[in-house]
A and B are shown apart, each in its own frame.
Chain A
Amino acid sequence: MTGPMIALSALLSHWARHRVQAALLLIGLALATALLTGVQAINAEARASYDRAASALSQDKLPRLVAERITVADYVALRRAGWPVSPVIEGEALIGGQTLRLIGIEPLTLPSGVAPDIGLAGDPTGFLTGKVILSAEALNDPRVRPAELPPGVALTDIGVAAGILGPEISYLLLTGDRPAPPGYALIHPATTDLSQLTESFHLNLAAFGYLAFGVGLFIVHSAIGLAFEQRRGMFRTLRALGLSARALTGLLLAELLVFALVAGAAGVVLGWLIAGALLPDVAATLRGLYGAEVGSGLTLRPVWWLSGLGIAVLGMLASAGQSLWRLGRLPVLAPAQPRAWGRESARAMRGQALAGVGLIGAAAGLLAVRGLWAGFGVLAGLLLGGALMLPLLMAALTRAGQRLPDTWARLDAGDVFINEQLALRRGLAPGDRVEQGVIAGIYPDYGNPMPQVILSWDRHRALYPLPVLRYALITDIPAAEIRAAFPRVVVEDRAAIRKASVAVFERTFAVTAALNVLTLGVAALAMFASLLTLSSRRLPQVAPVWAMGLTRGRLAQLEFLRTLALAALIYGLALPLGLALAWVLLAVVNVEAFGWRLPMLLFPGDWLRLGMLSLLAAGLAAALPVHRLARIAPAELLKVFAHER
């Protein structure tokens, strides 16, 4: 065996003797990778679904003409007057035992490349003569043929759709650059852009992933710190035997790389499982919130392996960077002196605190700057600064949500309300003017990517003499009775919609809660890892106390209480940091990214619960190290003096 090989086997022997530590390192990195790749997988899958939808149904990208009622004769009259329009009959239909969004197109009048390739390289005749229904779903209907379409959609000839849904045309696609013909209202396609609508959801999911990744790296950081701490003697010996600092660093780097690859691979598989488990709920949420169809099947894409392993390696390097840096800079014999290591640590901590002050200062400065990146900058500054220097972050940055003044009466006078999106985009305030009138108020409009104006019925009619498509009715009559009385009228029951929305949101929170539990679990593991490090490092400080007569049991008891007290203290400091982060997300990042703002609500009950959970987690995490301390062989404590650590 060559020198470096011997050194490597010596370094690796440490892990054979400290299996828990090795496991922690692997689990930490694997979990971090898993949560990040899992969340990314979910986002990627959803986006792939949107792309599929966009390319398969790119008629969604064409402007639509709508009217109170469009008959085939109306359509023919427009064509014969030279209007470039193509009819669509669309609705929900039961096909092969499944309710689907059935889209009937008229392929001959659609521009080339607008509707999906109906795959009739084989059979255009079959499609045009109504013998073909295309769908990605496996349906029990002889007409159905597989096609690259979004889930829950069936595409067929307009004749088939007319037979199932009735002859009335749902809307006309305007296929040329022309204004709307008289009697028709033009709906621009931007309102149906799924990726735009769902962007905030995915951003939040991604933020969760990165948070979990950060926490996972903390575990790795602790485990590596512990491993380096415990191998100080070995480092000294190896260096004394002539191994250069560079070679030692290289060997440690190689060792970490192996760990990273193993943990990364495990993380990718785990992430895939997490994504698979969460995707049905995410899909249901997206469908419910935005009408976006996302398949619940997940494919393990090769790019995940690459990105997962890459993330693991980068994360490992980031976590180990500090330890490696310190090792490289220590003099040959210094690693054996605990104070040398400790002095390095203390210096680092002061540096960290200073950096923390700087970062938070920078974050505060950025608050004055507008823009999404400034918002993210504030977030990063707070998160890092807060983590580096918790105690300084005690500022309460909460602010109450804005309320729309009760100014409905002004609508009748011809004034208008605008949504927050419009107000922010154009920098408008109540009293300013828009094309439709004087702004009486600004209303919050969660989730809407478009600017919007509310005006009175009379004012709307005066400005836009368009056919009326919808009426709202305030009544005690149940929707079912209205439907029965007016069978041709589409009745939407607001109460039912509200109920459905609430159900959808609850699903969203099911996803969030699941991610919460996972993140909290990772955090507890991180705490456990760092306590384990700490307990070993503190042995030299505990030993003299033991030598002075305190029993191991009493020592363990004190250690336990100390851990709880620390946890309580950190909880007290973390709470305002968390609130500040939430405020920045709601009031800065969200507003810049999507143009709407959520009111910040405070839930002290949740804080209490979280506090209890933190203490419980700290207690559980401390249990093993404290248990070990209570049972530690007196010889171990004596060794501290014998080895002059």
Chain B
Amino acid sequence: MNVKAIMLILMACAVSAPASGQGFAGLGSDAGGFEMPRPGPFDFPADHGPHPTFRIEWWYVTANLTAADGTEYGAQWTLFRNALAPHEAGGWASPQVWLAHAALTTATQHLAAEKLARGGIGQAGVTAEPFGAWIDDWELSDHMAARGEGFAFDLALHATGPIVAQGDGGYSVKSAAGQASRYYSQPFYAASGEVELDGKHVPVTGTAWMDREWSSQPLAADQTGWDWFSLSFDDGARLMGFRLRGATDFVSATWIGADGRPEPLPPGALRLTPLRSTTVAGREVPVEWRLELPAKELDITTRALNDHAWNALSVPYWEGPIRALGSHPGRGYLEMTGYGGTK
């Protein structure tokens, strides 16, 4: 069969979900029987696990790493859950489909891999307590491990700060019309372990950031993609910000103090300006940006570690480590989708 066709459909739902915002509030009540996100407190540890009544959900970790000789690396470990029906069932009858991406980036190389599995049989899944997420031999728990053609990584993760609720107490609004998802992050991981590239094992240390998000709403018709930033500054503060590109752009951001206290910023507070584009896989992709946040006297330029951090997977997109220069130096990750006609 054409797995690619399935992938495209699943990915259209799953990956594009940060851009979800189904557009018109009146249509949101029932997305094929799926539950809609509502504001309210999180229920931990249960919320670390899957929410099968929601259409889409992900566990998304990115790590900025450095080797002893100063060489920089970026690692991505992502597990998507996509529900074909709003329930879970045992065995082959499970309507839950799991999709995972892993990538390793250096200044000169970017390698990515993909996995697909169905729920219900134990091949892929997430448990809340103790926390564990897996698909085949890829794992995320107190460490994250994955391997693909020519690369592998295995990194121990250690939280040095609290879990951060994004948006309004974990209710993250995604469009001017008020569409939303449940969204929290753990931006304070210390990471250490080793990466393997072309058969060479390299010990590394650094920081990692986990995003957790679930929702049920498809991409609005006019939204073609997004640019999403997660930044860890040298002074200990963090910034999450995204721009949904549509008929009118929707920009949202959260400032996270070094103590872990989140400050949701009003729409438009963060200004994102592409500075330089490069041709990646035949598409024009902005790899250098200016970020301005006057309230925090922030004015930085971000540069990609590798301009060609292109995940050439069944649904291709740009995802790679970046460095912040200017008022707030630091490191982080940038994800860009929807350039060159892909949703």
Contact = CB atoms under 8 A, between A and B. Distances in A.
Which of B6, B10, B117 is the most central at the interface, judged by chain A CB atoms within 10 Å of its CB? Answer: B6
Contact of B92 (A82, A111, A118, A158): A158
Given A76-B123, A80-B134, A108-B118, A159 B93 contact: yes
Interface stretch (A18-26, A123-131, A510-518): A123-131
Given A79-B117, A108-B116, A128-B118, A120 B5 contact: yes
B94 to A, nearest CB: 9
B132 to A, nearest CB: 12
Interface in A137-191: 157-159, 162, 167
A110 interface: yes
Contacts of A247: none
B84 interface: yes
B3 A110 contact: yes
Nearest to B117: A108
B5 A116 contact: no
Nearest to A127: B1
A162 B91 CA distance: 10
B1 A129 contact: no
B95 interface: yes
A370 B6 CA distance: 53
Contact of A124 (B9, B91, B136): B9
B286 to A, nearest CB: 30
B297 interface: no
A108 B5 CA distance: 11
A113 B2 contact: yes
Interface in A79-117: 79-82, 105-113, 115-117
A400 interface: no
B93 A118 contact: no
A121 interface: yes
B236 interface: no
A117 B136 contact: no
Contacts of B269: none
Nearest to B82: A125
B1 A162 contact: no
Given A76-B121, A79-B123, A125-B84, A110 B137 contact: no
A613 interface: no
Contacts of B92: 72, 130, 157-159, 162
Nearest to B9: A124
Contacts of A72: 91-92, 121
Interface string B77-97: 000000011000001110101
Interface of A: 72-73, 75-76, 79-82, 105-113, 115-118, 120-121, 124-125, 127-130, 157-159, 162, 167
19 contacts: A76-B122, A79-B123, A79-B137, A80-B134, A82-B147, A107-B1, A107-B6, A108-B116, A108-B117, A108-B118, A110-B3, A115-B1, A117-B5, A121-B5, A128-B6, A130-B93, A157-B92, A159-B91, A167-B91
Given A75-B121, A82-B147, A116-B1, 7 more contacts: A80-B123, A105-B1, A108-B116, A108-B118, A157-B92, A159-B91, A159-B93
Interface of B: 1-6, 9-10, 84-85, 91-93, 95, 97, 116-118, 121-123, 134, 136-137, 147, 314
9 closest Cβ pairs, A-B complex: A159-B92, A82-B137, A124-B6, A118-B1, A108-B116, A115-B1, A76-B122, A117-B2, A125-B84
